Amino acid sequence: MKKRDTFFVGLMLFSMFFGAGNLIFPPFLGMGAGTSFWPAIIGFIITGVGLPLLVISAIALVKDGGNALGNRVHPWFGAAFTVMVYLSIGPFFGVPRNANVAFEMGFKPFLGNVHASQSLLLLGFTAVFFLLVFLLSLNPSKVVDYMGRIITPTLLISIVVLCVTGFFKLNKPLQGPNETYQTATLFKGFIDGYSTMDALAALAFGIVILSTIQQKGVTDQKQLTAYTVKAGFVAGGALALVYAGIGLIGARMASYGTFDNGTALLSSAATILLGNGGKILLGFIFTLACFTTCVGLTIACGQYFSKMARKLSYRTVVTLVTVVSFLIANLGLNQIISISVPFLVMAYPLTIVLVTLAFFHRFFGGSQKVYASAMFLTGFVSLYDGLKMFGLKWSLLESLMSQLPFASVGLGWVVPAVVGGLVGFVLEKLSPAPARSKGLNPKRIS
């Protein structure tokens, strides 16, 4: 495969990752961090870019992607976990959320004094939006041409225009960090990077990238892995530059007022920089970013579920995903978030631990006990965190969970994951030799 092809595959991956959340969180971080911006954004990039790249690399190392990783815990877990991930980042949350944000930022601001019902306007917008998503998703082999060669460069150019204009026009000195970023700034940015949820999306996108590279004639596993990692670095580099650029806009906008979220901040910045043209440019950026992410997620779901359920064709799955996403999108953004976020809170720690174990796979011989023990304790904590977001709390369990290290910053699962892995390792060593021999060959990757 030519270097140019690898570059455009990387741009395609960037456009899949770069959705609504990727635009909103960096500028809001910048506003809060102020003079501590660079440590904060570096921490954000480590998890917002580095972690998804690790997931992509892990997917490239195994056959059948996330399902194969999950099977190392247990086949039933592999199936259930992967289905949960695809549904949450696909039709149940990720796709409808992006469609709603595209409506809120790319369409609604230009309605003026239109008195039509917002629900009817959302219905009309999402009908057209998902029709286009459906049509483009039907030909995944063409996506690299549409997204990598046309849509993504257009998106990047638009973002560059906004960032460069902001660099010259927003020239007030940075303010001091707010209370959140006054201490442990790097670590706070590190935690903020989770908000993009791209590590979950990477489980799905990894398969799309592998399929795209295979369609270029690459079949050797080592070459597949190498090209996938290279494409990942192209996407990661572009993401890091964009995060730094729009994050710096947020840091400089702190002198112009206070803002409730990154959406309001960027909207004000675009108006200050380019007037009404800035609103149009920002609406275009949001719509294009959300659209490309929806296409990427729809293709990923189509490829996974059509492979898992042989009786369902790829076209049928894409149709179902777009129809379900369309229906859920019309529930409204707040309702989608209130219902779906708890599922993401449960899934994200499991994903991090599973991918981390994949990179240490050979050091513990691929023991199922290590995988199962680490995932069990991680899942116990993350499951409770998710249920707590639904309002289900138990005083005794809450008091115990609050004592866990890092629980105050949402990382109470970290120590249980480490303890679980160590317990599994000890159990494996204490098992009779014939039982240990059933484990995976440490020299094998998949």
Q: How many CB atoms lie within 10 A of CB 272?
A: 15
Q: Do 425 and 382 share a domain, yes or no?
A: yes
Q: Do 259 and 376 share a domain, yes or no?
A: no
Determine the average pLDDT of the residues in 220-240.
89
* Mean pLDDT over the full length of the chain: 84
Q: Do 438 and 298 share a domain, yes or no?
A: no
- Asked whether residue 71 carries a pLDDT value surpassing 60, the answer given is yes
Is 202 in contact with 86 (CB distance < 8 Å)? no
Is residue 43 situated within a structural domain?
Answer: yes
Alpha carbon distance 41, 26 (integer Å): 7
Instruction: Work out how many domains the chain is built from and give that number.
Output: 2
Domain span holding position 430:
360-446
pLDDT confidence band for 437 (50 / 70 / 90)? very low
Determine the average pLDDT of the residues in 39-62.
88
Length of the chain: 446
Q: Do 149 and 289 share a domain, yes or no?
A: yes
Q: Do 267 and 373 share a domain, yes or no?
A: no
Number of helices and strands in the chain (H, E)? 21, 0
Q: Do 46 and 177 share a domain, yes or no?
A: yes
How much is the pTM? 0.79
330-387 pLDDT, tens per residue?
987 667 767 766 776 777 788 889 888 988 888 898 899 999 999 999 989 988 888 8
Is residue 339 situated within a structural domain?
Answer: no
Q: Do 287 and 430 share a domain, yes or no?
A: no
Helix 37-45 × helix 221-253 angle, to 10°: 150
Q: Do 240 and 383 share a domain, yes or no?
A: no
8-45 pLDDT, tens per residue?
888 888 888 888 778 888 998 999 999 999 999 999 99
Is residue 18 situated within a structural domain?
Answer: yes
Structure tokens at 6: 């690898």
Is residue 13 situated within a structural domain?
Answer: yes
Q: Do 108 and 24 share a domain, yes or no?
A: yes
Is residue 276 situated within a structural domain?
Answer: yes
Look up the CATH number of the domain holding residue 135: 1.20.1740.10
Is residue 353 situated within a structural domain?
Answer: no
Is residue 346 situated within a structural domain?
Answer: no
Q: Do 11 and 126 share a domain, yes or no?
A: yes
75-111 pLDDT, tens per residue?
888 888 888 888 888 898 889 988 988 888 888 877 7
Q: Do 326 and 415 share a domain, yes or no?
A: no
Residue 105's pLDDT is 82
Is residue 344 situated within a structural domain?
Answer: no
Q: Do 254 and 402 share a domain, yes or no?
A: no
